[in-house]
């Protein structure tokens, strides 16, 4: 593993249980996604974002929304996604492992815009 600002670079690794969690989300989408009037918004925070990304990047299901990761990795991912032609909404914030009120407000605005 490569050491970085955040410690070891584990971006290429698959944490234990992620495939099982992602399969549970895929099963949910299979059961309920087809019934939705509009594309499903898939998102998550922290470990949930890892599962959401795993599903989104390995799914043909039409999804909407963006993952959030540790800043340096999220910054790299959003650059790569934008370079690939995807529309990315980027709302960086200072903070620990919490969701500040301004992020909730921005998320609500993002969802309302969809």
What string of pLDDT tens digits covers the 114 residues of the chain? 344 445 566 667 778 888 999 999 888 888 877 676 777 777 777 788 788 888 888 877 666 657 445 567 778 878 888 898 877 777 777 777 788 888 889 888 888 887
Contact 29, 59 (CB under 8 A): yes
User: Residue 22 to residues 25, 33, 40, 44, 79: CA-CA distances in angstroms?
Assistant: 5, 15, 15, 12, 24
For 28-108, list the strands marked E by DSSP: 40-41, 63-64
Kindly give the residue spans of alpha helices, DSSP state H, lying in 12-70.
Answer: 18-32, 47-56
Tokens of 86: 């995807």
- pLDDT score at 61: 63
Please choose, from the candidates 54, 63, 45, 68, the residue with its C-alpha nearest in 3D space to the C-alpha of residue 19: 54
- pLDDT score at 24: 92
In the chain, where are the structural domains located?
2-113
Tokens of 36: 């939705």
């Amino acid at each position: 593993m490569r050491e970085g600002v955040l410690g070891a670079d584990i971006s290429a690794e698959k944490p234990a249980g992620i495939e099982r969690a992602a399969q549970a989300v895929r099963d949910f989408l299979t059961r309920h996604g087809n019934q939705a009037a509009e594309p499903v918004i898939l998102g998550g925070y922290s470990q949930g974002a890892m599962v959401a990304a795993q599903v989104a990047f390995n799914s043909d299901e039409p999804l909407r929304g963006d993952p959030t990761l540790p800043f340096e990795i999220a910054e790299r991912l959003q650059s790569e996604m934008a370079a690939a032609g995807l529309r990315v909404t980027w709302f960086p914030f200072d903070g620990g492992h919490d969701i500040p009120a301004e992020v909730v407000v921005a998320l609500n605005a993002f969802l309302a815009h969809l």
